[in-house]
Structure 1
Amino acid sequence: MIERIWSGRSPLWLLLLPFSWLYGLISNGIRLSYQLGWRRVWRASVPVVVVGNLTAGGNGKTPVVIWLVEALQRQGLRVGVVSRGYGGKADRYPLLLDEATTTAAAGDEPVLIYQRTHAPVAVSPGRSEAVQALQARGDIDVIVTDDGLQHYALARDIEIVVVDGVRRFGNGWWLPAGPMRERAGRLASVDAVIVNGGEVQGTEIAMRLQPGQAVNLHTGQSKPLTELPQIVAMAGIGHPPRFFSTLKQQGVTPIKEVAFADHQAYSEAELRALTSAEQALIMTEKDAVKCRQFAAENWWYLPVDADIPAQAAAELLDKIKALVK
Structure 2
Amino acid sequence: MRPLAWLFGLIVRLRRWAYARRWLTVERVGVPVLVIGNITVGGSGKTPLALALIDRLGARGLRVGVVSRGYGGQADRYPLVVSTATPATEAGDEPLLLARTGRAVVAVDPVRPRAARYLVERYGVQVILADDGLQHYALARDAEIAVTDTRRGLGNGWLLPAGPLREPASRLNEVDLSLRHGRDGDFYLVPDQVTAVVGDHARPLSDFEAAEVHAVAGIGDPERFFAMLRDAGLRVIAHPMNDHHRFVRADIDFDDGRPVLMTAKDAVKCSAFADRRHWAVDVQPRLSATGERRIDALLDRLCAGIPPQEITPS
Work out whether the TM-score is over 0.5: yes
Deviations 1:150-181 (A, max 9, x none): 11111000000011011110111100111100
Aligned mates of 1:32, 1:197 — CA distance in 2 = 33
1:44 pairs, out of 29, 47, 62, with 29
Q: Is the 8 Å Cα contact of residues 196 and 207 (structure 1) preserved in structure 2?
A: yes
**Given that residues 47 and 323 in structure 1 are in contact (C-alpha distance below 8 angstroms), is that contact kept between their aligned partners in structure 2?**
no
Deviation per CA, 1:182-229, whole angstroms, max 9, x where unpaired? 1111111111011100544xxxxx111121112121232222223234
Taking a change above 3 Å as real, the CA distance of residues 324 and 22 of structure 1, as seen in their structure-2 partners, is farther
TM-score, normalised by the number of residues in structure 1: 0.89
Matched ranges for 1:42-121 at <5 A = 42-121=27-106
Which residue does 1:195 correspond to in 2? 180
Q: What letter matches 1:251 in structure 2?
A: G
Q: Distance in 1 between matches of 2:3 and 2:305?
A: 42
State the secondary structure of the residue aligned to 2:270: helix
C-alpha distance in structure 2 between counterparts of 1:40 and 1:215, whole Å: 44
The C-alpha deviation readout for 1:273-305, integer Å capped at 9, x for no partner, is x3522x100000000011122211110111111
Pair 1:307 & 2:292 matched: no
> For structure 1, which segment, 221-230 or 24-33, has the greater mean C-alpha deviation from structure 2 after superposition?
221-230
Q: Deviations over 1:19-43 (max 9, x none)?
A: 1011111111100101122111111
SS in 2 for 1:70: helix
Match of 1:33 in 2: 18
Alpha-carbon separation, structure 2, partners of 1:181 and 1:193? 16
Question: Percent identity at matched positions?
Answer: 44
* Residue 299 of structure 2 is aligned to residue 320 of structure 1: no
Following the alignment from structure 1 to structure 2, what is the Cα–Cα distance between the partners of residues 207 and 189? 21
Q: Secondary structure at the match of 1:212?
A: strand
1:261 aligns with 2:242: yes
Residue of 132, 139, 143 corresponding to 2:117? 132
Equivalents in 2 of 1:178, 1:29: separation in Å?
20
Match of 1:231 among 186, 197, 213: 213
- SS of the residue corresponding to residue 291 of structure 1 reads coil
Q: Determine if the alignment matches structure 1 residue 207 to structure 2 residue 192.
A: no
Query: How many Å apart are 1:118 and its aligned residue?
Result: 3.2
Q: How far apart in 1 are the matches of 2:189 and 2:144?
A: 21
Q: Secondary structure at the match of 1:32?
A: helix
Q: Secondary structure of the residue that 1:170 maps to in structure 2?
A: coil
Structure 2 Cα separation of the partners of residues 82 and 210 of structure 1: 26
Supply the AA of the counterpart residue of 2:87: T
Distance 1:271-1:216 versus aligned 2 partners, 3 A rule: same
TM-score (norm 2): 0.92
Range with greater deviation from structure 2 (311-320 or 53-62)? 311-320
Query: Is the 1:225–1:252 contact (alpha carbons within 8 Å) kept by the matching residues of 2?
Result: no
Aligned residue type for 1:239? D
Is contact 2:32-2:303 (8 Å) kept?
no
Q: 2:202 aligns with which of 222, 227, 238?
A: 222
Could you list the per-position Cα deviations for residues 215-262 of structure 1 after superposition, in whole angstroms to 9, with x for gaps in the alignment? 1212322222232343011100011011011111112121x1001111
Structure 2 stretches lacking a partner, 5+ long: 308-314
Q: Distance in 2 between matches of 1:314 and 1:155?
A: 21
Task: Judge which range, 190-199 or 238-247, deviates more.
Answer: 190-199
Pair 324,237 (structure 1): closer, same or farther in 2 beyond 3 Å: same
Aligned to 1:19: 4
In the other structure, the counterpart of 2:270 is: 291
Task: Provide the C-alpha distance between the structure 1 equivalents of 2:165 and 2:75, rounded to a whole number of angstroms.
Answer: 29
Q: Structure 1 residues 300, 188: CA separation in 2 closer, same or farther (over 3 Å shift)?
A: same
* Residues 187 and 145 of structure 1, relative CA distance in 2, 3 Å threshold: same
Q: For residues 53-84 of structure 1, what are the alpha-carbon distances to aligned partners after superposition, in whole Å with 9 as ceiling and x for unaligned?
A: 00000011111111101110011000000000
2:124 maps to a residue whose letter is D
Question: Is the contact made by 2:67 and 2:112 (CA closer than 8 Å) also made in structure 1?
Answer: yes
Q: Specify the SS of the correspondent of 1:125.
A: coil
Structure 1: gaps spanning 5 or more residues: 1-15, 201-205
Q: Which residue of 1 aligns with 2:234?
A: 252
- The Cα shift of 1:95 comes to 0.6
